[in-house]
Amino acid sequence: MLQILGSPRQLCTGLTRREMLVAGGLSLFGLSLTDVLRAEEQPRQGRHLHGFGRAKACILLFLYGSPSQLELADMKPDAPVEIRGEFKGIRSTLPGCDVCELLPSMAQIMDRVTVVRSMTHPYPIHGVAYATTGVPAIDVAMELHPHDPRHWPFVGSVVSYLQAQQGRGATEIPNNIALPWPFSSRRVGEVPRAGPYAAFLGNAWNPLWTEFHGTATRRMVKTLADKTEDVLEPYLGITPESRFELASSTALPADLTLDRLNGRRSLVSQFDEARRALESSAASRSFDRYRQMALSLIGSEKVRNALDVQKEPPRLRDSYGMTVFGQAALAARRLVEAGCRFVTVMWDEYALAGSAWDTHWDHFPKMKNELLPGLDLAFSGLVRDLDDRGMLDDTLVLVLSEHGRTPKLNNSKGGGRDHWSQAYTQLFAGGGIARGKVIGKTDKIGGAVTERPVSPKDILATVYHLLGIDPHTLLQDRTNRPVPLVQDAEVVHEMLA
């Protein structure tokens, strides 16, 4: 990794010896000394912005498929019915920010939230990678190919990588964990999607994923074009006994199966035995960092305890919602409390593709019966719980998506809103974020930004800033070319407390 950072060893020009060496090395990649100095000056200026390093940890709630801004926190009650839809707004504790009537719990905590109504970018596709990495552009081929060499590393992977480079890597609790299961692994008949991967940093820095072990309690009919499927949906409800464990598929080497372990012992005992054997063998030295760490952490009492949401009082668990998303958000709080730096909770597709928040079909039934109630409890429960524990001020909470939804409803079954990236809404709380603020405006139908446009890259720059990382820090890509964490982006200073 290349970083343009200062040093006390200055030359008479004011430059340091390290800076001159770095500048000389970068010239091999077509960067001049002027480019180096410009890159250096940006981080120094950024450090002087208030809020730098305020967040000790970050919890990312990612709503795959993307919610409609018109049914979240940018409602347009005076728009025609084909725009505003069938839901009404309700007053929240944040003046000037009504929320959907299906978000009554969120309405009570909005005074602790910053709402950005002016998100915008030019790619109306499921660009999870575009929303969560510094990659400058995205296309459908990249989004459907997680290992496309053009991808850049996921924000959680960067945080974990830089933490380790600074000699502050976690020992018992990893710094990059994602729930509830490996992304895009529970939908049927489709290729996996890109997004939460370490890209050119290497697989060792991919998130450590959990697996969900539990039973869904409610059914729903899902629609994808002319297909329908009746499924037990964990995002609607799960049994209290349901649990999360680090995924064994990321913890075991490819040639070591559970059948080769002692089947009469508990799974944890098997992992403990495998770990001891592997750590004493020469073969263990050939495993990459990711597999070694995962295998070790499977047996970690601290990790198991952090993931065990059953240790929480039933009333607190209910406040998050007894759904896979709600309980994963609760587990995220427990992981941060135990020392994890970056936790991701994905609202992912399940069973039929084109589900989650991708509401081309059955928009209003899904929003009413599944999506908004689940988000309402999970987000409000997390913000309240962090605040009650004195953790909100140094835990950054993000509610992100790829884009928004079309202002005008389509004519599909149950009504639908299609992809729309020209204007959409995202939510932020804690970790140096201002309390009770609305940033940006859209036009009378929520279709175009009219004030303070903000890009996903600006959000990433702000996240890095709050976590104490210069957004212009340089990494080396696959061709050894230095690239910044995010380029053509600025910290959104209005978001800062």
Cα gap 360→86, rounded to integer Å: 16
Higher pLDDT, 258 or 249: 249
Name the residue with higher pLDDT: 163 or 49. 163
Query: Residue 114 above 80 pLDDT?
Result: yes
- Dihedral of CA atoms 145, 487, 116, 466 in degrees, nearest 10, equals 100
What is the pLDDT averaged over residues 430-453?
Answer: 98
In this model, does residue 3 exceed pLDDT 70? no
Mean pLDDT of 136-153: 95
Residue 32 has pLDDT above 90, yes or no: no
pLDDT band at 172; cut points 50, 70, 90: confident
What pLDDT score does 276 carry? 52
What are 195-246's pLDDT values in tens digits? 999 999 999 999 999 999 999 999 998 888 778 889 999 999 999 999 999 9
Tell me, yes or no, whether 447 lies in a domain.
Answer: yes
CB 89 within 8 A of CB 98: yes
Q: Identify the weakest region by mean pLDDT among 153-157, 278-282, 330-334, 391-395.
A: 278-282
pLDDT at res. 222? 85
> What are residue 395's DSSP bridge partners?
57
Q: Average pLDDT in the 332-341 region?
A: 96
pTM: 0.84
- Residue 327 lies inside a defined structural domain of this protein: yes
Q: Is 65 helix (H, G, I), strand (E, B) or coil?
A: coil
Least confident range from 5-19, 163-177, 232-246: namely 5-19
Percent of the chain with pLDDT over 70: 79
> Does residue 97 lie in a domain region?
yes
- pLDDT for 265 beyond 80: no
Alpha helix positions (H), 153-254: 155-165
Asked if residue 111 is part of any domain, the answer here is yes
Place of tokens 């719980």: 385
Indicate whether 76 belongs to any domain. Answer: yes
pLDDT at 297: 58
Q: Which two tokens stand for residue 16?
A: 């340091």
What's the rounded Cα separation, in Å, for the pair 162 and 168? 9
242 contact partners, CB below 8 Å, separation of at least 6? 212, 213, 214, 215, 234, 324, 327
> If DSSP codes are grouped into helix, strand and coil, which group holds residue 248?
helix
Kindly state whether residue 10 falls inside one of the protein's structural domains. no
* pLDDT higher than 50, residue 439: yes
Confidence label for 293 from pLDDT (cuts 50, 70 and 90):
low
Question: Per-residue pLDDT for 327 more than 60?
Answer: yes
52-78: average pLDDT: 97
- What average pLDDT does the segment 381-404 reach? 98
Q: What CATH number should be reported for the domain holding residue 335?
A: 3.40.720
Structure confidence at residue 399 (pLDDT): 98
Using pLDDT thresholds of 50, 70 and 90, give the confidence band for residue 272: low
Q: Where are the alpha helices (DSSP H) in 351-418?
A: 363-366, 372-388
Confidence of residue 171 (pLDDT cuts 50, 70, 90): low
- Tally of domains within the chain: 1
Looking at residue 225, its pLDDT comes to 76
Helices 372-388 and 324-338, packing angle to 10 deg: 20
Start-to-end C-alpha separation, the chain? 31
**What is the span of the domain harbouring residue 65?**
55-473+490-495
What pLDDT does 354 receive?
A: 81
Q: Residue 47 — pLDDT band, cuts 50, 70, 90?
A: low
Dump strand ranges (E) for 348-477: 351-352, 395-400, 404-405, 419-420, 424-429, 437-439, 441-442, 449-451, 474-476
Please state, in angstroms and rounded to a whole number, the distance separating the CA atoms of residues 416 and 2: 46
pLDDT tens digits, one per residue of 466-476: 999 999 999 99
Q: What is the DSSP string of 307-331?
A: H-GGGS-HHHHHHH-SSHHHHHHHH
pLDDT value at 35 more than 60: no
Is 72 among the domain residues?
Answer: yes
Residue 160 in any domain: the answer is yes
What average pLDDT does the structure give for the chain? Answer: 85
